[in-house]
Amino acid sequence: MTSDVADIVIAGAGPVGLMCAYLGQLCGLRVVIADETDGPLKVGRADALNARTLQLLELADLFAELYPLGKTCNTSSVWADGKFLSHQSSWWDELEGCFHKHFLMLGQSYLENLLDGKLSKMSARVKRSTTIVNMELNKAGCLTTFSNGEKIQSRYLIGADGSRSFVRHHFQIPFKIIRPQIIWAVIDGIIDSDFPKVPEIIVFQGETSDVAWIPREGDIDRFYIRMDIKDFTLEEAINKINHAIKPHTLRFKEIVWFSQFSVKESVAEKFFVHDRIFLAGDACHIHSVNGGQGLNTGLADAFNLMWKLNRVINFGVPDKLLQSYENERKPIAQSVIESSGELVRSTKYSQTGTHAQDYVNIIQKRSGNITGMGIRYGDEGLCGSRLFDLEIFNGVVKTRLYSLLDYAKFTLLIFADDMVDLNLPKFVKVIQIHSNKYQTSYWTNSSQYVNQAVLVRPDSYIEAVTPVDLEWPMLFQQIIDRI
């Protein structure tokens, strides 16, 4: 079959591959995406989008459609051996620079279906029931062969093909898996219980068993049940729930999804090989579900990667920019493995008898990962930190900074009153934000960036910042010349 040409081929249309394809479309890249399944996920798997993901969804104009479908949740309580122990939400309440200080409890299938539908409307329909069977590197990039015999030549290829990644195996990227022998049952269903149903995560802890009750969209509730054995039945898992919530009882009126989750942990040695091939999502990092970080971390990979490919492919910047994907994302993946690993081990091993309280303390310590808001690139200072969202006005109309950002562009925010005339390329969107309300354009009188010029990357991390003084336009011109 003849070979077609694309900028990027994406192996796998799980949430991460779909997000890569969608962001690629927003940037005007020619993307081909294929998946061996016949359609997006219908039930199960990841259940929560964290606060940082909600901000990223806003950048990509997806937030407004997804947000009303889920349930917000930022509190959790811990019960141990039948007694209420603690109630906490401080790490959410203390978040700064965001307006959605909570998880959005929403099944992975909603995101997949939304993205799959958007790609179809953008004439970039996922090639379904199509497996990637071979890849050959060549001077122009990579020649991919699909199960239907079709071949596509692309400049780059992204392996977003999940934890058993064919791409990772094909390019022999080491992925050493640790198996801590912790096995969970996962049940989604509609329940009937005399335990009061509340919109918060409830963890029931005992030295021999843990159960986490997670609120979900619609009528559904999710239960994670630590089983310790590999072979168990649905009935045995439900019995464990009833044991944990004693003296209350619970029954399922309907089971929507029942699965087993054996904890495995690994980070791929490389996220970028042969200057052509990327790994993203579960293909390059897997870990326990504790802290709900798998899907969120994978989506952040997509947001980190696609703007860089846009800059290289559409704007001709040197491709050394692409190495920063691995440099930035691999340490984050490592820290996610550590935080989810610490959490899941604490459910099994307690030396002090303070099992339940230990879990809460770890969540508090690792809250930057769990909320997603502690993720930054670089050690300190404003550069490399996430841009804080803030309320601004356009004349008398209230809006928010994040709603003005555009994933296909850098944004130069000028928090100053004097008008500035800069000759900037079209990949930089300029927004001047005045400090007083007498303006007919954007203004705010409460910003930590006052009298500063802030250059923001497409994924809403700060690239550069400088005080607005006589020198700054020249300085910024120089910065923009090098990005």
Ligand X SMILES: Cc1cc2nc3c(=O)[nH]c(=O)nc-3n(C[C@H](O)[C@H](O)[C@H](O)COP(=O)(O)OP(=O)(O)OC[C@H]3O[C@@H](n4cnc5c(N)ncnc54)[C@H](O)[C@@H]3O)c2cc1C
In the complex with ligand X, the residue whose CB is nearer, 110 or 472, is: 110
- Which H or E element spans position 482? helix 472-482
In the complex with ligand X, the residue whose CB is nearer, 45 or 434, is: 45
Nearest distance from C-beta of residue 483 to ligand X, angstroms: 28
In the complex with ligand X, the residue whose CB is nearer, 35 or 265, is: 35
Could you tell me if 407 and 427 are in contact, meaning their C-beta atoms sit under 8 angstroms apart?
Answer: no
In the complex with ligand X, the residue whose CB is nearer, 37 or 394, is: 37
In the complex with ligand X, the residue whose CB is nearer, 40 or 473, is: 40
Pairing of strands 221-226, 183-193: antiparallel
In the complex with ligand X, the residue whose CB is nearer, 373 or 468, is: 373
List of residues contacting ligand X (CB under 6 A): 11-17, 34-37, 45-47, 108, 131-132, 160-162, 166, 186, 259, 261, 281-283, 289, 292, 294-295, 298
Nearest distance from C-beta of residue 127 to ligand X, angstroms: 9
Nearest distance from C-beta of residue 11 to ligand X, angstroms: 5
- Distance, in Å, from the CA atom of 477 to the CA atom of 422, rounded to the nearest integer, reads 8
Nearest distance from C-beta of residue 98 to ligand X, angstroms: 21
- Distance, in Å, from the CA atom of 260 to the CA atom of 241, rounded to the nearest integer, reads 15
- Distance, in Å, from the CA atom of 356 to the CA atom of 58, rounded to the nearest integer, reads 35
In the complex with ligand X, the residue whose CB is nearer, 166 or 427, is: 166
**CA 460, 287, 133, 149 torsion-angle sign:** negative
Nearest distance from C-beta of residue 190 to ligand X, angstroms: 17
Burial of 4 (0-12, 13-18, 19+ CB in 10 A): middle
- Distance, in Å, from the CA atom of 111 to the CA atom of 47, rounded to the nearest integer, reads 11
Residue nearest to ligand X (CB): 14
Nearest distance from C-beta of residue 40 to ligand X, angstroms: 8
Phi-psi region of 334 (alpha: psi -120 to 50; beta: other; left: phi over 0): alpha
In the complex with ligand X, the residue whose CB is nearer, 37 or 72, is: 37
Could you tell me if 433 and 443 are in contact, meaning their C-beta atoms sit under 8 angstroms apart?
Answer: yes
- Distance, in Å, from the CA atom of 338 to the CA atom of 11, rounded to the nearest integer, reads 27
Nearest distance from C-beta of residue 162 to ligand X, angstroms: 3
- Torsion (CA) 31, 34, 40, 45 in degrees, nearest 10: -100
Nearest distance from C-beta of residue 315 to ligand X, angstroms: 27
* Alpha helix ranges (H) inside 130-264: 166-170, 234-244
In the complex with ligand X, the residue whose CB is nearer, 231 or 379, is: 231
Nearest distance from C-beta of residue 170 to ligand X, angstroms: 9
In the complex with ligand X, the residue whose CB is nearer, 14 or 473, is: 14
Could you tell me if 87 and 80 are in contact, meaning their C-beta atoms sit under 8 angstroms apart?
Answer: no
* Alpha helix ranges (H) inside 100-233: 108-121, 166-170
Nearest distance from C-beta of residue 340 to ligand X, angstroms: 9
Instruction: Name the DSSP class of 375.
Output: -
What's the token pair of residue 106?
Answer: 């929403």
Nearest distance from C-beta of residue 45 to ligand X, angstroms: 4
User: Where in 230-349 does DSSP place strands (E)?
Assistant: 250-262, 266-267, 272-273, 277-279, 285-286
Could you tell me if 24 and 306 are in contact, meaning their C-beta atoms sit under 8 angstroms apart?
Answer: yes
Could you tell me if 279 and 165 are in contact, meaning their C-beta atoms sit under 8 angstroms apart?
Answer: yes
In the complex with ligand X, the residue whose CB is nearer, 33 or 356, is: 33
What's the token pair of residue 413?
Answer: 């925010």
> Does the bond joining 247 to the residue before it have cis omega, within 30 degrees of 0?
yes
In the complex with ligand X, the residue whose CB is nearer, 21 or 454, is: 21
C-alpha dist (Å) from residue 482 to 136, 301, 321, 333, 477: 33, 23, 11, 28, 9
Instruction: Name the DSSP class of 195.
Output: S
Nearest distance from C-beta of residue 232 to ligand X, angstroms: 15
Give the CA angle between residues 477, 478, 481 to the nearest 5°. Answer: 85
